[in-house]
Amino acid sequence: MTIATTPLPDGGSIPVFGLGTWMMGERADRLDAEIATLRAGLEQGVTLIDTAEMYGNGGSEKMVGQAIAGRRDGLFLVSKVLPHNASRAGTIRACEQSLRRVGTDRLDLYLLHWRGQHPLAETVAAFEDLKASGKILRWGVSNFDTDDMAELQAITDACQANQVLYNPSRRGIEHDLLPQAQKAGMPIMAYSPIEQGRLANNRTLADIAARHQASPAQIALAWVLRQPGVVAIPKTSRPDRVAENVQALDIRLTQADLDAIDTAFPPPTRPQPLDMI
């Protein structure tokens, strides 16, 4: 399958569907299955893999490196720096360590995982240093709300993406953050698009799934992907679930489906604090 892409502000593009790796790379007895899962995704045509130095204290990045060994070209790799490492020198050091763990010379996108104590200007300067040296191709942020984005945009317009929690049960960003990102042409990367699997048991989504000969998880993913400029990065440790998730790209929800989801999960009517897991 060829997976569609959405534009980035710098003129590049990012696939609208990828593989999340949160809580992977933490246990030796699961490593083979996790590597097999990522490789199954690559065989399905998935090229976007999202990881972070926080996940498994670097174990996730190492696991990604094993899964993609010999297959780096054509992939879109994302990792993240922890806030307490995000000083100018600390960001560069953290990125270099991430590169070694993944076994690559560059990241396609490098994110600040969430706001911390270091001034944003320091982190931005480090990101630009990393770009200049070719160690990252672009940078972005994660878990930034509207006020965080306003502060960042006062410093620079070079941010390429914002990764946040978004799924039918977590719709707060639709009031302001998502429209602002769409207006700016900046992709939103939706983590936990199935609410860590909990939406797979939702009755409303199950009813809609039955009409589409699909699963509730696929309906949740199709709902997230209906939005322009939104990227879904579901995490699974099972190869068969990767194929199921990829098939969600072919589902087109009807207006009746969307209305039923709105009834079960009402859209926001006022600004809300950014949800995080």
In the chain, the domains with their CATH numbers are 13-196+230-236 (3.20.20.100)
DSSP letter string over 162-176? EEEE-BTTB-GGGTT
Residue 194: band (very low, low, confident or very high) from pLDDT cuts 50, 70, 90 = very high
Radius of gyration of the chain (CA): 18
Question: For residue 209, is pLDDT > 90?
Answer: yes
Question: For residue 139, is pLDDT > 90?
Answer: yes
Return the pLDDT at 150.
96
Q: What is the pLDDT of residues 113-127, one digit of tens each?
A: 999 999 999 999 999
> Residues annotated in the binding site for substrate, as ranges?
113
Can you say how many angstroms the Cα of residue 180 is from the centroid of all Cα atoms in its chain?
A: 18
The Cα 69–Cα 242 span in angstroms is: 19
Set 55, 110, 166, 191: catalytic member: 55
> Residues annotated in the binding site, as ranges?
113
Lay out the sheet containing 76-81: strands in order across. Answer: 18-20, 48-50, 76-81, 109-112, 139-142, 162-165, 188-191, 230-232
The Cα 156–Cα 19 span in angstroms is: 29
Q: Which two tokens stand for residue 253?
A: 């929800």
Q: Which two tokens stand for residue 261?
A: 């989801």
3-class secondary-structure state, position 6: strand
Can you say how many angstroms the Cα of residue 139 is from the centroid of all Cα atoms in its chain?
A: 13
Percent with pLDDT over 70 in the chain: 100
> Nearest Cα to 69, choosing from 44, 103, 100?
103
Question: For residue 46, is pLDDT > 90?
Answer: yes
The Cα 164–Cα 148 span in angstroms is: 13
Return the pLDDT at 251.
97
**Whether 55 is catalytic:** yes
Question: For residue 24, is pLDDT > 90?
Answer: yes
3-class secondary-structure state, position 277: coil
- Can you tell me the mean pLDDT for 127-139? 98
In this structure, the chain runs to a length of 277
The Cα 193–Cα 50 span in angstroms is: 14
- Can you tell me the mean pLDDT for 187-203? 95
Return the pLDDT at 157.
96
| 7 bridge partner residues | 13
For residues 104 and 72, the answer to whether their CB atoms sit within 8 Å is: yes
Q: What is the pLDDT of residues 160-190, one digit of tens each?
A: 999 999 999 999 999 999 999 999 999 999 9
pTM attached to this predicted model = 0.96
Return the pLDDT at 1.
76
3-class secondary-structure state, position 240: helix
3-class secondary-structure state, position 21: coil
For residues 45 and 19, the answer to whether their CB atoms sit within 8 Å is: no
The Cα 144–Cα 114 span in angstroms is: 7
